[in-house]
């Protein structure tokens, strides 16, 4: 049964939550009194539909249904998860919770996107404080996985566990903040950097562009993969963190920073920062920068994914959990089902020819895994090497479109495995790939018979697939049409 999320407040953060839930297969009900709310959310969804599926090598669930509602009561009725993202005014949040709890299910989770208020402050004057907790995300919510999950003493243990389960199921990483603290964890760290940056601009030490360069060309790249403490552990050399602290710890007492102070945000300083920021952006619109940000985040996250590191490890785990088992291997079956990522397209605006080969290679890898040639078998010394490939490019496909690859086993006797892949987008045949693979001993790097179990499974599949004939294109050679 499809689950339902209610989004109360559809601004930048609320819109990101709506996109995350919607693209993960939830029905989403939105309340926002802004008459322009639907248009603004549509722009967020346009970006999310291009970017989020690009992170996955497995097709996402079917998109849920989106609806807009004129009252909070109507929006939250029947919702499993309610995310409040109204402006940071405590009295407004209290009124919002009162309206939510007058209509929502008693076991619904109510999460707040607040970046500053503690959950006990939010729960004051509410009828069921145990329902409410902080679920503080980061922008864009549909791409960045971190969400700070902050309960109070009144939040029930059940609510915490359910919240963790839900957030994990939609591809997020719930960071359980075990004690209430102003601004939680991440924003306190960001605040320290922000204060220093304001002073550097105020004192005319650096411009906004120079400060951003210091981050994006330097430590920001390290933070994306290792955070702060692991970065400094490496900086300590072979002796690790203890040596780093011994060497650089005394500098913490030097008057480098102004962490307990902040410059007056006078009109002159505000204008200076705004003008430098606008000049730095080169006249690009906010929407232009959102799309650039998303493309860059997808590229960085996919790079981490290829190394199974940091946020990339989380994405790989989500992909593995989403892979559907093959119930009948006696007929040609789907080995790849995914969305074309943003970085798979070329200067012609469609999928790069090398990515067709990658998709077919992924299909062959999946087929190998299913016959028993998995990671454990390869570690034991046996594998298949591709000896010959022929690809026909029949139709173009663009970023954001879903593709599937069906694999037909043409033969599997002896040391060889003959596969024929057909790539489709809906009913359109996009390409075919014919591959001859040879079983190899990884010790000798020469052809060798596969293990008996693999040989038996492969022979059974080839026999079953043989009943479905030979698809068009098998054995085709390059020629003029």
Does residue 294 fall inside a structural domain? Answer: yes
Residue 252: the pLDDT is 79
CA distance 33 to 329: 53
User: Is the confidence at residue 173, as pLDDT, over 70?
Assistant: yes
- The DSSP secondary structure of 114-158, one letter per residue, reads -SS--HHHHHTT-S-GGGEEEEEE-SSTTT--EEEEE--TTS-HH
Same domain for 344 and 279? no
Residue 243 scores a pLDDT above 90: no
Residue 34, pLDDT score:
96
Q: Are residues 382 and 294 in the same domain?
A: no
Residue 313 belongs to a domain: no
Q: For 282-331, what is each residue's pLDDT tens digit?
A: 878 888 889 889 999 999 999 999 999 999 999 999 999 999 899 999 99
Indicate if 144 and 15 belong to the same structural domain. yes
Judged against a pLDDT cut of 90, whether residue 261 lies above it is answered with no
What is the C-alpha separation between 206 and 469, in angstroms, rounded? 70
Pairs from 272-280 (Cβ < 8 Å, separation ≥ 24): 272/201, 273/198, 273/201, 273/208, 276/201, 276/207, 276/208, 276/209, 277/208, 279/209, 280/207, 280/208, 280/209, 280/212
Residue 480 located in a structural domain: no
| 361 and 453 housed in the same domain | yes
Q: How far apart, in whole angstroms, are the C-alpha atoms of residue 321 and residue 60? A: 11
Question: Residue 97: is its pLDDT beyond 70?
Answer: yes
Would you say 464 is a known binding-site residue? no
In a domain? residue 332? yes
The phi, psi pair for 308, rounded to 5°, reads: 50, 50
Residues 6+ apart with CB under 8 A from 200: 206, 211
Q: Is 426 assigned a ligand-binding role in the annotation?
A: no
Residues 150 and 298 in one domain: no
Domain final residue pick, 252, 273, 306 = 306
What's the mean pLDDT in 28-49?
96
Asked if residue 198 lies in contact with residue 263, where contact means CB atoms within 8 angstroms, the answer is: yes
State which of 244, 274, 306 marks the end of a domain.
306
Q: Exposure pattern of 235-252 as b/e (b: 16+ CB <10 Å)? A: ebeeeeeeebeeeeeeee
Q: Which pLDDT value is given to residue 234? A: 87
The domain spanning residue 271 has which CATH number?
Answer: 1.10.1040.10
How crowded is residue 420: how many other Cβ atoms within 10 Å of its Cβ? 23
Q: What average pLDDT does the segment 413-423 reach?
A: 97
Q: What is the mean pLDDT of residues 185-201?
A: 93
Helix residue spans in 392-448 (DSSP H): none
Burial of 421 (0-12, 13-18, 19+ CB in 10 A): buried
* 12 is known to lie in a ligand binding site: yes
pLDDT at 35: 95
Dihedral angle at the C-alpha atoms of 186, 191, 192, 197, nearest 10 degrees? 130
Domain total in the chain: 3
Q: Are residues 460 and 333 in the same domain?
A: yes
Q: Is 218 annotated as a binding residue?
A: no
Tokens 């034991």 locate to: 380
In the predicted model, what is the mean pLDDT of residues 356-367?
97
- Mind listing the pLDDT tens digit for each residue in 363-392? 999 999 999 999 999 999 999 999 999 999
- 55-64, 149-158, 236-245: which has the minimum mean pLDDT? 236-245
For residues 213 and 248, membership in a common domain is answered with yes
Domain assignment present for 407:
yes
13 is in an annotated binding site: yes
Closest by Cα among 481, 451, 472, 271 to 371: 451
Q: Please give the residue that has the higher pLDDT: either 110 or 255.
A: 110
What is the average pLDDT value for the chain, to the nearest integer?
94
Residue 315 lies in a domain: no
Q: In which domain, by residue range, is 224 found?
A: 187-306
User: What is the per-residue pLDDT for 239?
Assistant: 87
Q: Do 336 and 285 share a structural domain? A: no
* pLDDT in the model for residue 184: 95
CA–CA distance, 280 with 139 (Å, rounded to integer): 21
19 and 101 part of one domain: yes
Instruction: Name the DSSP letter for residue 219.
Output: I
Residues 300, 153 share a domain: no
| Residue where one domain finishes, among candidates 306, 339, 360 | 306
Task: Quickly state the pLDDT bin for 480 (edges 50, 70, 90).
Answer: low
pLDDT at residue number 336: 97
Residue 318 within any structural domain of the chain: no
Residue 14, marked binder: yes
Does 104 score more than 60 pLDDT? Answer: yes
Which residues make beta-bridge pairs with 50? none
- The answer to the question of residue 204 being in a domain is yes
The CATH number given to whatever domain includes residue 329 is 3.10.129.10
């Amino acid at each position: 049964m499809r689950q339902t999320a209610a989004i109360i407040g559809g601004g930048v953060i609320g819109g990101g939550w709506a996109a995350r839930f919607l693209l993960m297969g939830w029905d989403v009900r939105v309340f926002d009194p802004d008459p322009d709310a639907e248009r603004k959310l549509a722009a967020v969804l346009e970006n999310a539909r291009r970017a989020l599926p690009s992170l996955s090598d497995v097709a996402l669930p079917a998109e849920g249904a989106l609806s807009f509602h004129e009252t909070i009561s109507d929006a939250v009725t029947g919702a499993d998860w309610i995310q409040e993202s109204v402006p940071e005014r405590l009295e407004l949040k209290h009124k919002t919770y009162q309206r939510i709890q007058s209509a929502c299910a008693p076991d619904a989770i109510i999460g707040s996107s607040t970046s500053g208020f503690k959950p006990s402050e939010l729960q004051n004057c509410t009828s069921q404080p145990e329902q409410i907790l902080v679920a503080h995300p980061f922008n864009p919510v549909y791409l960045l996985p971190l969400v700070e999950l902050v309960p109070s003493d009144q939040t029930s243990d059940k609510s915490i566990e359910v919240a963790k389960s839900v957030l994990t199921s939609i591809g997020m990483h719930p960071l359980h903040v075990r004690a209430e603290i102003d601004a939680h964890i991440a924003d306190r760290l960001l605040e320290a950097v922000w204060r220093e940056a304001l002073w550097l601009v105020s004192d005319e030490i650096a411009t906004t562009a120079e400060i951003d360069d210091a981050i994006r060309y330097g430590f920001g790249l390290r933070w994306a993969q290792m955070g702060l403490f692991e970065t400094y552990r490496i900086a300590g050399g072979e002796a690790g963190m203890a040596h780093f602290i011994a060497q650089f710890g005394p500098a913490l007492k030097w008057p480098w920073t102004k962490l307990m102070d902040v410059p007056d945000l006078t009109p002159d300083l505000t204008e200076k920062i705004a003008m430098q920021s606008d000049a730095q952006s080169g006249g690009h619109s906010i929407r232009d920068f959102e799309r650039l940000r998303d493309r860059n985040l997808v590229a960085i996250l996919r790079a981490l994914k290829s190394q199974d590191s940091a946020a990339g490890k989380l994405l790989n785990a989500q992909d593995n959990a989403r892979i559907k088992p093959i119930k009948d291997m006696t007929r040609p079956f789907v080995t790849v089902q995914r969305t074309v990522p943003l970085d798979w397209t070329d200067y012609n605006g469609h999928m790069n020819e090398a990515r067709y080969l990658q998709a077919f290679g992924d299909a062959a890898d999946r087929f190998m895994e299913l016959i028993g040639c998995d990671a454990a078998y390869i570690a034991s010394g046996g594998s298949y090497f591709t000896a010959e490939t022929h690809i026909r490019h029949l139709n173009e496909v663009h970023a954001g479109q879903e593709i599937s690859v069906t694999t037909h086993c043409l033969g599997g006797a002896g040391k060889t495995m003959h596969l024929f892949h057909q790539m489709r987008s809906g009913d359109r045949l996009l390409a075919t790939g014919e591959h001859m693979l040879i079983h190899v001993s990884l010790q000798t790097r020469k052809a060798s018979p596969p293990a008996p179990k693999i040989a038996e499974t492969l022979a059974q599949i080839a026999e079953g697939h043989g009943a479905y004939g030979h698809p068009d294109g098998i054995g085709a050679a390059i020629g003029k049409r």
